Amino acid sequence: MMRIGITCYPTHGGSGVVATELGKHLASWGHEVAFISYSAPLRLGIIPERVSFHEVEAVEYPLLKNYPYTLALASKMIAVARMKGLQLLHVHYAIPFAPAALMAKVAAPELDLKVVTTLHGTDITLVGNDPTFRPITKWAIEQSDAVTAVSRFLRDQARDEFDIERDMDVVHNFVDPERHDRPCPSCIAPRSSPDEVTLMHISNFRPVKRVEDVVRVLAHVRKRMPARLILVGDGPTACTALQVALSLGVADSVQFTGVVEEIEPILQQADLLLLPSETESFGLVALEAMASGIPVIASKVGGLPEVVTHGETGFLAPVGDYEAMGDHAIDLLSDQELYHRFSHAARERAGAQFSYDKIVREYERVYARLLEMPEREALSHLEGG
């Protein structure tokens, strides 16, 4: 049994989902898990056994123009580590969480805390690359006791961008296949005709997601078959998607759901998931679609080729090539036998390669290595404990 503190962005988004599900699975296997953040992670729900949540409170201080969250987080990490006897702090995002955890480690040496930093992508590609954050990101990666990256692509990118020589473990993201087996409630309007196919895109609608390409794929597919597009989530380019849909004359076939709490039920209404991103360190939503038996059409970029097997569980095309993506969609959707083969392969791959019981164990092994614990002791659930 180990005692682990986890810090993540508690809002919607892949990194928060992965961190929260990791903590929940670790606790279900007998470890003690303390989440430390400014609000309870959305996916936490009712706090399970052996899990606690500790809120970093904002304090107003007249002399400071901006609230020093990183310092407040580091202080809370020390307090919770003392209270719960934490052995290890696992932070999900280099900036700003890794510097906070490293500060906690140095400021309370008697606790002998180990720091694990997981890189999720935007910390490296956007935030960490801001010239002002570069030195601190590099330092945080170098000083963490272990660093994991969610894809080989991201590990190599972090190494190249920040000139890092240390070892970094690749621990892919994961799903719980059972979450994707639930019956589908009627959360979306029915298809307008039985032969209408449903394309789906799920994201935070940031420019990196290239939502305009999603709409262009819909227009391309509609030249050959009745099709609709369901856009799940919200963000800065949602209006762009509508404008493109209006200009292409397909707006009547686009539904915007806004942000939804749980994507698994909605995914069951899709025939294909589209993810034509500019870059994507992993693409958790692609994996979630595959776990639901939904083939994925995505851009051949970043960590996506590690998730989607081109020609088996979906198709990959160059960034911006919405015609190729549309052609792949047409090929799959007009051949039932081919579609079912892809759907089956997608579900199989998600379950065999990216199931939580395989991946969470990889995190446990990283922890056990740092704590110099024999695996048998660290992996208590394997002993039936």
The residues of the shown chain that bind ligand GMT, judged by CB under 6 A, are 13-15, 18, 120-122, 150, 173, 204, 206, 208, 279-284
Q: Which residues pair with 219 in a beta bridge?
A: none
Give the CA distances from residue 75 to residues 79, 102, 103, 167, 352, in Å, rounded to whole numbers and listed in that order.
6, 11, 9, 29, 40
37 SS3 class:
strand
Measured CA to CA, the distance from residue 169 to residue 90 in angstroms comes to 14
Nearest distance, CB of residue 282 and ligand GMT, angstroms: 4
Between 81 and 202, whose beta carbon lies closer to ligand GMT?
A: 202
**Between 7 and 15, CB nearer to ligand GMT:** 15
CB of 261 closer than 8 Å to CB of 233: no
CB 224 to ligand GMT: min, Å = 30
Closest CA relative to residue 153, chosen from 120, 201, 131: 120
Minimum distance, C-beta of residue 153 to ligand GMT, in the bound complex (Å)? 9
CB proximity list for 344: less than 8 A, separation 6 or greater:
293
Q: Which CB atom, from 32 or from 123, has the smaller least distance to ligand GMT?
A: 123
How far is residue 157 from each of residues 154, 281, 283, 295, 378, measured CA to CA in Å? 5, 9, 16, 27, 31
> Residue 78 corresponds to which tokens in the numbers above?
């020390």
Identity of the residue, 173 or 269, whose beta carbon is nearer to ligand GMT in the bound complex: 173
Residue with smaller CB distance to ligand GMT, 144 or 281: 281
The distance of closest approach from Cβ of residue 15 to ligand GMT in the complex, given in angstroms and rounded to an integer, is 4
The answer to whether 349 and 313 have CB atoms below 8 angstroms apart is yes
Rank residues 70 and 253 by Cβ distance to ligand GMT and give the closer one.
70
Count other C-beta atoms under 10 Å from residue 159's C-beta: 16
